[in-house]
Structure 1
Amino acid sequence: MSQSEVRATASAYRKWRQVKDGLATATITTGGIGVLFAILLIFFYLLYEIMPLFESASLKETNQYAATSETSSLYLAMEEQAEVGFRLDRSGRADFFQVSDGKLLLSEELPLNNAAISSFSLDSEVSRIFALGLNDGRVLIAKHDYRTSYPGDKRLITPILRYPYEKETLLLSEEGAIDQIAISDSDDELLLVAISNGKLIGRRWVKEEDFLSEEVTLIEEPVDLPVLDIAADRVLIGPGQQWLYVLSNDGGYRLIDLRRVNVADRGYLFDSGKLSEARFLLGGISLLTASDHGEVGQWFVVRDASRESGYRLQPVRQFAVPNGGSAALVTEHRRKGFLNVTKDGRLDVFYTTSHRRLLKRDLDVGTVASMAISPRADTVLLENQQGMLHSYELHNEHPELSWSALWSKVWYESYPEPDYVWQSSASTNDFEAKYSFAPLAFGTLKAAFYAMVIAAPLAICGAIYTAYFMAPALRRKVKPLIELMEALPTVILGFLAGLWLAPFIEKNMPAVFSLFLIMPVGILLFAWCWAQLPISVRRYVPEGWHPVLLVPVVLGIVVACVTLGAPMERAFFGGDMRAWLTNDLGVSFDQRNALVVGIAMGFAVIPTIFSIAEDAIFSVPKHLSYGSLALGATPWQSLIGVVMPTASPGIFSALMIGMGRAVGETMIVLMATGNTPIMDANIFEGMRTLAANIAVEIGETEVASSHYRILFLAAFVLFMFTFFVNTIAETVRQRLRMRYGNL
C-alpha cells in the first residue's frame, strides 16, 4: 500500500471516528436531556394534581326569585341534585319548588289540627325527618322525601311529604306549649325531648315490627330527666341517644347522660355574648355554637377520668366570624364543613378538621332569614326577610386539607387529645377523614433507618475487604454473586419476609438476638485461634482466601444459636420472650415489625451499596497504596490513611443511593410490616411508609377526589425528599472529591 493510500485510509478512519464520537455525544446528550425532561414532567404533573387541594372556595349567584308564600320560612332544604327545594313556613305550609326558577311544584298544609307551631327540630340532614312542637303540647313528625324516575330517559324528581308515624300528633307535654324540642329517630326507637313551661320533658317510643305484616308499633316509655338549674333555650340530642345538650342564651350548658340520667358536665360556651345558633356537624358528635360576639366554637364529648361522670364537653376549635351573631348556621351533609351567614349577609365557609376558612363573601341580599346547602355541597339557597330567595353555585371541592392538618397534631372527633393520625376511609358515612403525613413520614424514615443500620456496616466492610484484601480469583467470584442479589425482585423478598422471616423471628427471638451478640464474638475468637496456629499450618490457605474459612464458622454459630434458643428462652424469659417483653418491660410486640423490615430491606440494599463502594475502593490508583507501603505503613494504615479518603466520595454516594433505595422501597414494607400508620420508634412495632401507603390506597380511591389528590401529594413529598437528599449527597461528594482528589 502506498503512502498516499495509507494517509487516505487514516483520514477516512479519523472522519468515521469523529462521526461516531458525534453520534455518541448527541445520543448521550439527548438521553440526559430526556431524563431531565421526564423528571420535570413528573414534577409538574404532580403539581398539577395537587394544586386544587389548596384552592379557596368560590361562590356564584345563579338566580333570585320570590318565595312561594309570604309567611317567613321555618326551614329550608334541597334534595340530592339541588333541583327541587323544600320550604316550610311558620304557618305550617310545606312547599316544594324548582331551585332554578322558584316554580312551585307541590304545596301541602300540615295537619296541625288548629294548633300553632311553637318550635322546630330536625333529626338530621340525612334522614330529613323533622318534628314540629305545637302550642297544645303535641308533636307532629314529618319528612320531606323525593322519588326519582326516568321517563323517556329524562330524570324526573317527584317530591313527597311523608309522615313516618302517620298524620297523628303525639302528646308530649301536658304543661302547655312546647317551647323547644329535639328529635332523634333510630331503627329501634324514637326519642323526643322538649322544654315546656320551663320543664324538661322526654318521651321514648320503642319500635316493634310485626314479623309477618312488617307493621311498626310504637310502645311509649317515660324518660327520666334531671331537674334543670338553668334557663333552657335550646335542646339537642346526640348520636346513639346517649347525650342531651341543654343550652341557654347566656352561653350556659348542661351535658346530660341519658343512660345514667345525670348531669355529666356543666359550664359556659363563651365568656360573653348571647347564643345565636347551635347545631350538630355531620354524625352528631361535634356541636357547633355561635355567639353574637363573632365566635363559632366546635365542641365534642371526651372521656375524662378525673370527673365523676367520666366525661366532659371539650372545646376543640374556634372560628372567627363578624360580630352580630349568626342569622343561619348550616352544616354540610357529607363532610365536616359548615357555612355561617350573618344577618347583614356576610357568608363564611369553614372546614373544621383542617381549621380552615375557605371563603369570605359579603352578599348583597339584605337581612338574611334562613339558609340551606345541597347534599353535594354545590348549591346554596338564601332567603331574606323580604321573602326573596337567592340561589348560588358553590365550588368547594377539597376543603379537608391544610398544612397544619398534614404536619401538626389535630384533635379529631372522639379522640381524647390531639394526635397524628392517617385514616383515609371507614365503614360509616359520618367518618372524619384524617390525613396526617407525620406517621407516614416517620414510618418512611424508620424503615430506612433500620435498613441502613443493618445494610451499611455489612456492605461497606464487605466492600473494603473484597476490594483491598481479598484474592483476585476469589473476588471475581464473590463480587458478581453479591451483585446478582440485586436482581432478586423485592416482591419475593417481601413475600419471604412476611410469611417466613417474621414468624421465624417471633418463634426464635432468643436465637435471633443472641446471633447479634455471639456472631461477632465467635468470628473474632476464630480469628484469634487461627493466629495462634503455626505458620506451617496457616500457609496452606493462600493470602486473601481466609473468608472461605469463615463460612462453616458462621453456619455453625447460626445452627448453635437456633438449637440453644429454646433452652435460653426457658432459662431467662420464663419460656416466652415475647410475653416477657410485653409484661416485664412494657414493650409491645408485633410479628411484622421494623426488625423484619430492617433485615429484609437491608438484604435488598446491601448489593447496591456494596457494588458502588467496592468499585470506588478498587479504583483507587495502586501507586498510592504501594507508595504508602513503601514508606513503612502497614496495609491497614494504608487503607485508613490513603485508600479510604480517596474512595470516600464513591463510598458516600453508595450510602446515599442505598438510602434512596430504602426510602422509596414499596413491596418489602408493604408485605413485611403491619402497615399501620403509627409513630413509634419501637423496633418491635410496624409502620407505614409513604410509598407503601400510595401502593395500598391508590387503587381504592375515586379519581380527582381529595383522597386521590392527597396520595399524589404524598408522592410529591417523597419526590422532594429524594431530590433534597440527592442534592445534599452530590454537594458533599463534590467537596470530598475536591479535598482528596490530589492524593
Structure 2
Amino acid sequence: MSSTPIPAQFNDRRRRFIDRLTRRVVKGCGLAILLVMLLLFVWLLWVVVPLFSSPSIGSGYTIKLPDARPAVALGMDAGQKWGWRIDQQGQGFFIPLDAQPPSAAIPLYPGAVSATTTADNGSVLLSGDSGLMLVQPQFMAAGREPVWKFPLGDKPLAASVPGSSVVSIAHPDEHRWLVAEASPEQITLLQYQPDAAPLKFTLDMPGISQLLLSPEGQLLFGLSGAMLRVWDITPQGPVLRDTHTLTSPPKRIALLSGGSSLLVADDKGIAQWFDIASETGPHLRFIRQFAGANDSGIVIGEAHRRVFATLSPGGDLNLFASKQQGAIFSRQLNTGVQSAALAPQGDGLLLENAGLWRHYQLSNPWPDISWRSLWQKVWYENYPSPDYVWQSTSANDEYQGKYSLVPMVIGTLKAAGLAMLFATPLALAAAMYTAWFMTPGLRRWVKPAIEMMGALPSVVIGLIAGLWLAPQLADRLLGVLLLPLMLAAVLLLCSWGSLRLAPRWRRRLCGEGREIWLLLPLLLLTGLFCLWLLPMIEHSLFGKGIAERFSGGYQQRNLLIAGVAMGFALVPLIFTLAEEAIFSVPASLGQGSLALGATPWQTLTRVVMPGASAGIFAALMIGFGRALGETMIVLMATGNTPVTEGGLLQGVRSLAANVAIEMPEAAAGSAHYRILFLSALVLLIFTLVVNTLAELIRQRLRQQYGQQEEQG
C-alpha cells in the first residue's frame, strides 16, 4: 500500500470559488428580502400618511363684482368654474371664477328681497312683499353659460304670511318643496309641487325667531328665546315632539349635512345636538361643545359632509368636523367679510366683501379621520353612547363613514388567542410524546402524517368549518364544550390507574410506548359519548340543544368555530417545529438523567424541555404569527361582525379578513381605501414587533440553557 498522502480536495480553487459564490448569493438573497420588506413598509406608509395631513388653503385671488349691493345668497358650482349671487334687489348674477367678464344681470324678483337656501345650497327661496319665488342656479356643460331655473314658475307665489322674515325651505325629493314660515302668532307649513295647489298646515306658536326644516322634510326645528322645539312632520301636519329650555338664548341654530346634527350657537360657543333612541322614540339630546368654536360672525356648512366653518369679523377662519373635538384648521383672512359660501365638495371657499370676491382653494379631503376616531370611542349620530364602530359603506351621499380599527384588532387577538389555546396543548403534547415516548417505528408513521395536515389549504379548512363544522357544532354544543374536560379527566384517570397496576401488567400494557393502543380507544369512546350520546340525551330531556336555549341568541358562525378551525391549521406547524426542537436535544443529557435514577417524565420536564425551550418558544411564536395573519378561515368560519364585545359564541372580524372583504369595494384613493391599507400596516407592524420580541427571548433562552449545558 502506498504511503502517499491523499490530497485535500476541499482546499482546491474551484471549491473555494463555489463557497464564495454561495456565501454571496445567500447574503444577496437575505438583503433582497430585507429590501422587499422595507419597500413594502414604505409603500404602505406612502398610501396611509395622506390620511393625517392637515387641511390647507391656497392663496386667494380677487374678483371685482359688477354690483356693489350686498348679496342675500351666493354659491358656486362643483367644478368651481362659476359663482352665482343674488343681491338685495333680486338681481341674479353668474360670475366666472377665472377672471373672465361676468354675464349680464337678470332680474329674478321684483323689489327688495331676502333669501334662504336648501341644505345643499342648490335651491334659493326669495321672499318679499310680492310673495315667494323659488329659483335654482343651473350649470350647463363645459363652454356654455349657466342659467336660472324656476321650478314653480317665474311669477311670485302668494305668501301665507306677507312680509315674514322667518322662513326655511327643504327639498325632500325631485318634485316637492317644503316651506316653513313664522309670523308673530303662528307657524305655517306649505308644500309646493309643480302644477299642483300647495298644501297648507298652520300651528299656533307665537314668538318664533328662527325655523329650520331638515333636508328630508321630516323634522321642523323652532327657536323662541331660550326655548328650542322639535316637531315631527306627518301627513296630518306638524306634531310637537321635543321641548328644551336652554340656559341662555341661542344666537342661531343650523343643521349639518344630512340633517341629523343640530348646531346651537350661544354665548358659550357652538354645541352639537342630535336624536337618541329611547323607549318613547327618538329625542333630541345635547352631545358636546366644540372646543374653540364661537358664533361671532358667519357660520357656513358643507353640502355633503359634517363639516362647518366659522368666520369672525376680524377674519379668523376655523374649520370644524363633527368627529373632532376642536378646530381642524385655522387661518387669518381678510376682515369685514359680508357673505361666504363653501364649494359643494368642500374644496373651495368664496368670500364677499365691499364689492369684491375672494376665491380660495381648500384642501380638506378627510376631515373625519384622526388617530382619535380610529382608536377611541366616538359618539356617532343617532347612537345611544360613544362606541367603537366600523361601518364603512352606505347608499346615500350623506352617510358618515365610521372607521374604528379597535373591533378588528380585538377580533384578531380573540381569534388568534383562541386558536393558540386550542392548538398549543395538542401540538406540544403530541410533540413531547412523539419525540420522547413513542417507539421509533411508530414515529416514522405518525410524524409525517401530522405534517401532511399542514398541506391542507386554509381556504379548504375554512370551507369545511363554515359549511360542515358550524351546523354540527350548533347541534352538539354542550358536548363540544365538555369534550376538553372529559378528555383531560380520562387521561388523568388512566395515569392514576396505571400507577396502581402490578409491575408485571404495567410493563405489558404501558411499556415501550404500547400505552397508546389503550389510550386511543378510550379517547375515541369519550369523544363518541360527548359528541353523539350526550346530545341525544340533551334533546330527549329538553327537546332542543343548548344553543337554541341561549337567551341572547346563537350565531352559527362564531369565534369558537374560527378558533377550532384555525387551531387545526396551526397544530401541524407547531408540532413539527416543537418536535424537532425536543428531538434535537443531545441524547447524552437524557441518558445521563435516566442513569441517575430520574423517571422518563422527570427527564423530559426537567432536562429535555428546558434544553428545547428556545425552539419550542420559536414554534409558538411562529404559530401565533400565522394565526394573526390568517384570512380565509376567519373570513369563512365567522360571521365577520366588527364588534368589540361578544363572547365565545358571537362573531368577530379580523384585520386581515376585513381587508379581504372590503378592498374590492373601496374606491382607489378614498378614505376607506387608505384605512384598509392602514389596517395592513398595523398588522405588519404588530407582527414585526411580536417576532422581534420573540427572537430576543429565544436568543436569551438559548444562551441561558446553552451555558447550563456547558457547565453540566
Same fold (TM over 0.5): yes
Match of 1:156 in 2: 143
Question: Structure 2 vs 1, CA of residues 539 and 446 (structure 1 numbering), >3 Å: closer, same or farther?
Answer: same
Question: Structure 2 vs 1, CA of residues 382 and 165 (structure 1 numbering), >3 Å: closer, same or farther?
Answer: same
User: Is residue 292–residue 327 contact of structure 2 (8 Å, CA) maintained in 1?
Assistant: no
CA–CA distance in structure 1, aligned partners of residues 295 and 275 of structure 2: 28
User: Is residue 273–residue 284 contact of structure 2 (8 Å, CA) maintained in 1?
Assistant: no
CA–CA distance in structure 1, aligned partners of residues 31 and 666 of structure 2: 34
Q: Does 1:180 align with 2:186?
A: no
- Post-superposition shift, 1:261? 1.6
CA–CA distance in structure 2, aligned partners of residues 350 and 324 of structure 1: 13
User: Is residue 324–residue 343 contact of structure 1 (8 Å, CA) maintained in 2?
Assistant: no
1:122 maps to which of 117, 123, 128? 117
Match of 1:246 in 2: 222
Question: Structure 2 vs 1, CA of residues 346 and 483 (structure 1 numbering), >3 Å: closer, same or farther?
Answer: same
In structure 1, what residue type is equivalent to 2:411? Answer: G
Question: Structure 2 vs 1, CA of residues 548 and 87 (structure 1 numbering), >3 Å: closer, same or farther?
Answer: farther
| 2:338 aligned counterpart, secondary structure | strand
Unaligned runs of 5+ in 2: none
- Post-superposition shift, 1:491? 0.9
1:88 maps to which of 54, 68, 86? 86
Cα deviation per residue 1:169-222 (whole Å; 9 max; x = unaligned)? 333424x311111112223753221112353222235x5xxxxxxxx5434433
User: Is residue 172–residue 202 contact of structure 1 (8 Å, CA) maintained in 2?
Assistant: no
In structure 2, what residue type is equivalent to 1:704? Answer: G
The 5-angstrom pairing of residues 303-382 of structure 1 reads 303-305=277-279, 311-321=283-293, 325-327=296-298, 329-355=299-325, 357-363=327-333, 365-382=334-351
Cα deviation per residue 1:642-671 (whole Å; 9 max; x = unaligned)? 111111111111111111111111111111
User: Is residue 226–residue 262 contact of structure 1 (8 Å, CA) maintained in 2?
Assistant: no
2:369 maps to which of 401, 404, 411? 401
Question: Structure 2 vs 1, CA of residues 526 and 631 (structure 1 numbering), >3 Å: closer, same or farther?
Answer: closer
Q: Which range moved further: 395-404 or 74-83?
A: 395-404
Cα deviation per residue 1:493-526 (whole Å; 9 max; x = unaligned)? 1111111111211233233234334333344556
Cα deviation per residue 1:320-373 (whole Å; 9 max; x = unaligned)? 14x67122x22222322222221222112222224463321111x331011122
Question: Structure 2 vs 1, CA of residues 14 and 356 (structure 1 numbering), >3 Å: closer, same or farther?
Answer: farther
Match of 1:603 in 2: 568
CA–CA distance in structure 2, aligned partners of residues 381 and 536 of structure 1: 96
Match of 1:131 in 2: 125
In structure 2, what residue type is equivalent to 1:134? Answer: G
User: Is residue 483–residue 530 contact of structure 2 (8 Å, CA) maintained in 1?
Assistant: yes
The 5-angstrom pairing of residues 292-691 of structure 1 reads 293=267, 295-305=269-279, 311-321=283-293, 325-327=296-298, 329-355=299-325, 357-363=327-333, 365-384=334-353, 386-525=354-493, 535=504, 539=508, 543-571=512-540, 573-582=542-551, 587-691=552-656
CA–CA distance in structure 2, aligned partners of residues 173 and 12 of structure 1: 107
2:674 maps to which of 684, 706, 709? 709
Question: Structure 2 vs 1, CA of residues 698 and 236 (structure 1 numbering), >3 Å: closer, same or farther?
Answer: same
CA–CA distance in structure 2, aligned partners of residues 547 and 158 of structure 1: 89
The 5-angstrom pairing of residues 67-86 of structure 1 reads 67-86=65-84
The 5-angstrom pairing of residues 243-282 of structure 1 reads 243-248=219-224, 252-259=227-234, 261-268=239-246, 275=251, 277-282=252-257
User: Is residue 116–residue 167 contact of structure 2 (8 Å, CA) maintained in 1?
Assistant: yes
Q: Which range moved further: 351-360 or 655-664?
A: 351-360
2:184 maps to which of 181, 197, 205? 197
Match of 2:212 in 1: 236
CA–CA distance in structure 1, aligned partners of residues 576 and 623 of structure 2: 11
Question: Structure 2 vs 1, CA of residues 462 and 219 (structure 1 numbering), >3 Å: closer, same or farther?
Answer: farther
Question: Structure 2 vs 1, CA of residues 388 and 648 (structure 1 numbering), >3 Å: closer, same or farther?
Answer: same
* TM-score, with structure 1 as normaliser: 0.89
| 1:105 aligned counterpart, secondary structure | coil
In structure 2, what residue type is equivalent to 1:303? Answer: A
Question: Structure 2 vs 1, CA of residues 225 and 579 (structure 1 numbering), >3 Å: closer, same or farther?
Answer: farther
Question: Structure 2 vs 1, CA of residues 541 and 366 (structure 1 numbering), >3 Å: closer, same or farther?
Answer: closer
1:145 maps to which of 132, 138, 142? 138
In structure 2, what residue type is equivalent to 1:372? Answer: A
User: Is residue 588–residue 684 contact of structure 1 (8 Å, CA) maintained in 2?
Assistant: no
In structure 2, what residue type is equivalent to 1:247? Answer: L
| 1:368 aligned counterpart, secondary structure | coil
User: Is residue 132–residue 139 contact of structure 1 (8 Å, CA) maintained in 2?
Assistant: yes
Cα deviation per residue 1:403-433 (whole Å; 9 max; x = unaligned)? 1101111011111111100111111111001
CA–CA distance in structure 2, aligned partners of residues 357 and 28 of structure 1: 54
- Post-superposition shift, 1:16? 3.7
RMSD over aligned CA atoms reads 2.6
CA–CA distance in structure 2, aligned partners of residues 523 and 498 of structure 1: 31
Q: Which range moved further: 36-45 or 413-422?
A: 36-45
CA–CA distance in structure 2, aligned partners of residues 226 and 408 of structure 1: 45
1:286 maps to which of 247, 255, 261? 261
Question: Structure 2 vs 1, CA of residues 99 and 264 (structure 1 numbering), >3 Å: closer, same or farther?
Answer: same
CA–CA distance in structure 1, aligned partners of residues 314 and 704 of structure 2: 71
Cα deviation per residue 1:707-733 (whole Å; 9 max; x = unaligned)? 111111111111111112112212222
Match of 1:151 in 2: none
CA–CA distance in structure 2, aligned partners of residues 495 and 285 of structure 1: 42
Question: Structure 2 vs 1, CA of residues 537 and 366 (structure 1 numbering), >3 Å: closer, same or farther?
Answer: closer
Question: Structure 2 vs 1, CA of residues 593 and 274 (structure 1 numbering), >3 Å: closer, same or farther?
Answer: closer
| 1:625 aligned counterpart, secondary structure | helix
User: Is residue 86–residue 96 contact of structure 1 (8 Å, CA) maintained in 2?
Assistant: yes
User: Is residue 302–residue 416 contact of structure 1 (8 Å, CA) maintained in 2?
Assistant: yes
Question: Structure 2 vs 1, CA of residues 226 and 404 (structure 1 numbering), >3 Å: closer, same or farther?
Answer: farther
User: Is residue 91–residue 109 contact of structure 2 (8 Å, CA) maintained in 1?
Assistant: no
CA–CA distance in structure 1, aligned partners of residues 399 and 289 of structure 2: 18
In structure 2, what residue type is equivalent to 1:245? Answer: F
User: Is residue 345–residue 368 contact of structure 1 (8 Å, CA) maintained in 2?
Assistant: yes
CA–CA distance in structure 1, aligned partners of residues 223 and 2 of structure 2: 113
Cα deviation per residue 1:449-474 (whole Å; 9 max; x = unaligned)? 11111111111111111111111121
Name the count of aligned residue pairs: 703
Match of 1:29 in 2: 27
| 1:203 aligned counterpart, secondary structure | strand
CA–CA distance in structure 1, aligned partners of residues 342 and 540 of structure 2: 69
Cα deviation per residue 1:287-338 (whole Å; 9 max; x = unaligned)? 23444x5723222122344xx77513323341414x67122x2222232222
User: Is residue 302–residue 314 contact of structure 1 (8 Å, CA) maintained in 2?
Assistant: no
User: Is residue 84–residue 157 contact of structure 1 (8 Å, CA) maintained in 2?
Assistant: no
Cα deviation per residue 1:73-123 (whole Å; 9 max; x = unaligned)? 1111111211111111121111112112153135321144x5x32x42222
CA–CA distance in structure 2, aligned partners of residues 104 and 294 of structure 1: 42
In structure 2, what residue type is equivalent to 1:596? Answer: I
Match of 2:205 in 1: 227
Cα deviation per residue 1:507-557 (whole Å; 9 max; x = unaligned)? 332332343343333445566667777746963786124334444444443
Question: Structure 2 vs 1, CA of residues 315 and 511 (structure 1 numbering), >3 Å: closer, same or farther?
Answer: closer
CA–CA distance in structure 2, aligned partners of residues 548 and 162 of structure 1: 90
Match of 1:152 in 2: none
Match of 1:213 in 2: none
CA–CA distance in structure 1, aligned partners of residues 204 and 448 of structure 2: 81
- Post-superposition shift, 1:234? 1.6
| 1:266 aligned counterpart, secondary structure | strand
